[in-house]
Amino acid sequence: MSELQTAVRTTTAPATSQSQSVGAARTSGPAKVVSYILLGVVILIFLFPLAFLVNTALKSNSEFFNNPTGIAKAPLLSNFGKAWHQGNFAAYVLNSVLYTFAAAALGTVMSLMVGFPVARGYLKHTRLWNILFVSMLFLPNTLVTVFQLALRLHLYDTRLGYILIMVSGVGVGPLLISGYLKSVPKELDEAAVLDGVGYLRYLFRFLPPLIQPVLATVFILQAIGVWNDIILATILLPDQAKSPVTLGLFAFKGAYVSQWSLLSAATIIVALPLLVVYVFLQRYLVASVVGGAVKG
Amino acid sequence: MNRSNTFIFGRRWTVQLTFAIGISLVVIFSIIPAIGIFAISFTDIRSLPFLPTHWVGLENYRTFFSSAQIAYNLHALKNTFVFAIAVTLFQNVLALFIAVLLNQRLRGRNFARAVVFMPTILGVTVVGLIFSLIFNPSGGPAASVWKSLGASSAFFGDPHLAMTLVIVVQVWSGIGVAVVIYLAGLQAIPQELYEVASIDGATRWQKLRQVTYPLLAPSVTANTLLCIIGSLQSYQLIYVLTGPSNPATQVLSLAIFTQGFGGSQGGSVQSQGYAASISIVQFIIVMIVSVATLTYLRRKETAL
């Protein structure tokens, strides 16, 4: 198990040398041309599905059936409004924003609260807690017990219950944080003590800016997981008014199964906020997934 | 190693309190359900809360291996392995290839990195819908290509093709994380090693074989392991693409879902106790496979 811990750490530890960007041999001539062709192919493979989606969303349904693959002749924006109303996406998006933000924030704070003292050995049984953190990566599928637990704690079909259960899915959070803390010298803790800073103030006020990259990583990993969840929401939130946007989209697919233009518009509505956030945070996001190791 | 007395912040209750709050969330919603799954796999618990629950011993496991269920379960098991092996293999090889490409000094590589990682952000439902559209049998782009070749296909509705397509979509959507991990690994290799190799007259291939590959081995281990564990347990994308009970793409995780929460296929009992026993069988398989993989890759790493 400890090997996996090292494996996780080696790939997530902050890289020290970023300026000399690197394993890249200086290619020239024909090799370069081949590289550019391959680069084009890669970009095409990942962008084509999205372009097709947008193209379809701009067609009328009859245009789609007459000419499914052609480029939209008279781009139609009305599909978006129609999908937004018929899919009731306003409520779903609000739910998803609430779940994602609450669960990711709580999960990050929780990972910090348990990761820090264990990394520093401020508690008894450090080894035991470390083993617990690693074993959290290997837990069996708990759909059934999570459902039963929610029922018995009266958290079934409640927003709070769903959030709490998503929070505990942090998985690698404590492990990432305690791994990253190895790069923060313990002398800082001691200096804080000398300055009369208490534990709580140190943990919640002084430490977070110092370990921002790993906190951002935990938050983002958690947020991606919560925003994209569909199974737990299906099981735990039968009330449609509490559904996250993924379930709303899935239900929409069932209801408008043959109206591909409308479905495409609905898909874009759900994807757009993510894409916008991604475009602006992209460098930071990609980098933070490996703990700030990759920079453009 | 006992450093329990080194707490330097004075009053101990502050650390104990914050730790207790955090750890109790983990224990209640993560550890207890994990242990509970063992316990209730020996019961006939059902989804309704107030029905009497009985201890049934090994009954659920007997059912799992009974003649009525074994064909269905072996089929799900086979699908799980096919899916996991294919996804791990293709995802790792392609990710390594893309990472090496995107690590070169090329215009547009940052854009390409962003684009490759994008599906991770979009998530299973959006990705699932995009590919339902592309493989739409009545006039998606894939159908047009098929048609021009004089063939037609139901794609996700075709039992011979469904699994292959699901694997393709899974690789497409999951490759970004693997690429990023490989890029991080590549960037951690000091440039000097390549310069030394050049002075020694090493060819491009020799540099790849003697410098890049050995130093990248930890990333390979991490990626392989993450991918195997992930894909042995994964089912959300399959659920979105082909539904919860399509026999062609039935995997163990989906069996847990259908047996425990309805939408059943294969004429079975569906108590949640039975679903729990499938969870345990799956858990044991994941443990064995991941320990075996880790041992193999570690041995290979030290041999390099």
Query: What is the structure's pLDDT at B49?
Result: 67
Residue in chain A nearest B103 by alpha carbon: A24
Q: Which residues of B touch A65 (CB under 8 A)?
A: 138-139
Surface of A (147-176) touching B: CB under 8 A: 147-149, 151-152, 164-165, 167-170, 174
Query: What is the structure's pLDDT at A77?
Result: 87
ipTM at complex level:
0.86
Residue in chain A nearest B274 by alpha carbon: A144
Report the pLDDT averaged over residues A16-21. 40
Quote the distance between the C-alpha of residue B282 and its chain's center.
13
pLDDT tens for A236-291 read 999 999 999 999 998 898 888 888 899 999 999 998 888 888 888 777 777 766 65
Query: What is the structure's pLDDT at B263?
Result: 56
**Which of B15, B144, B189 is opposite residue A23, by nearest beta carbon?**
B189
State both tokens at A198: 């208490």
Query: What is the structure's pLDDT at A292?
Result: 40
Q: Which residues of A touch B293 (CB under 8 A)?
A: none
Q: Are A245 and A89 in contact (CB under 8 A)?
A: yes
Contact assignment for A168 to B30 by CB distance below 8 Å: yes
What type of residue sits at position A229? D
Contact assignment for A164 to B9 by CB distance below 8 Å: no
Q: Does B277 touch chain A (CB under 8 A)?
A: no
Q: Does A28 touch chain B (CB under 8 A)?
A: no
Query: What is the structure's pLDDT at B267?
Result: 45
- Please, which residues have CB within 8 angstroms of residue A180's CB and are 6 or more apart in sequence? A12, A13, A14, A211, A213, A214, A291
Q: Report the b/e string of B135-155 with b at 16+ CB within 10 A.
A: bbeebbbbbeebeeeeeebeb
- Please, which residues have CB within 8 angstroms of residue A219's CB and are 6 or more apart in sequence? A104, A105, A107, A108
Q: Does B124 touch chain A (CB under 8 A)?
A: yes
- Please, which residues have CB within 8 angstroms of residue A6's CB and are 6 or more apart in sequence? none
pLDDT tens for A76-127 read 889 999 999 998 899 999 999 999 999 999 999 999 999 999 999 898 888 9
For residue B71, the distance in angstroms to the closest alpha carbon of chain A comes to: 22
The residue of B30, B42, B50, B238 whose CB has the most chain A CBs within 10 angstroms, and thus the best one to mutate to test that interface, is B30
First to last CA, chain A: 33
Vertex B23, ends B22 and B24: CA angle to 5°? 95
Contact assignment for A49 to B130 by CB distance below 8 Å: yes
Q: Are B261 and B47 in contact (CB under 8 A)?
A: yes
The residue of B126, B173, B207, B228 whose CB has the most chain A CBs within 10 angstroms, and thus the best one to mutate to test that interface, is B126
Q: Does B155 touch chain A (CB under 8 A)?
A: no
Residue in chain B nearest A233 by alpha carbon: B236
The tens place of each residue's pLDDT in chain B, 304 residues long, gives 444 457 888 788 899 999 999 999 999 999 999 999 999 999 988 877 677 888 888 988 998 888 888 888 999 999 999 999 999 999 999 999 999 999 988 898 889 999 999 998 898 999 999 999 899 887 778 888 888 887 778 888 888 889 999 999 999 999 998 998 899 889 888 888 888 888 888 888 888 888 888 888 888 988 999 899 889 988 899 999 988 878 889 999 998 988 888 754 444 446 889 999 999 999 999 999 999 999 999 888 887 6
pLDDT tens for A163-182 read 999 998 777 889 889 888 98
Query: What is the structure's pLDDT at A82?
Result: 92
User: Average pLDDT, whole number, for chain A?
Assistant: 84
User: Average pLDDT, whole number, for chain B?
Assistant: 87
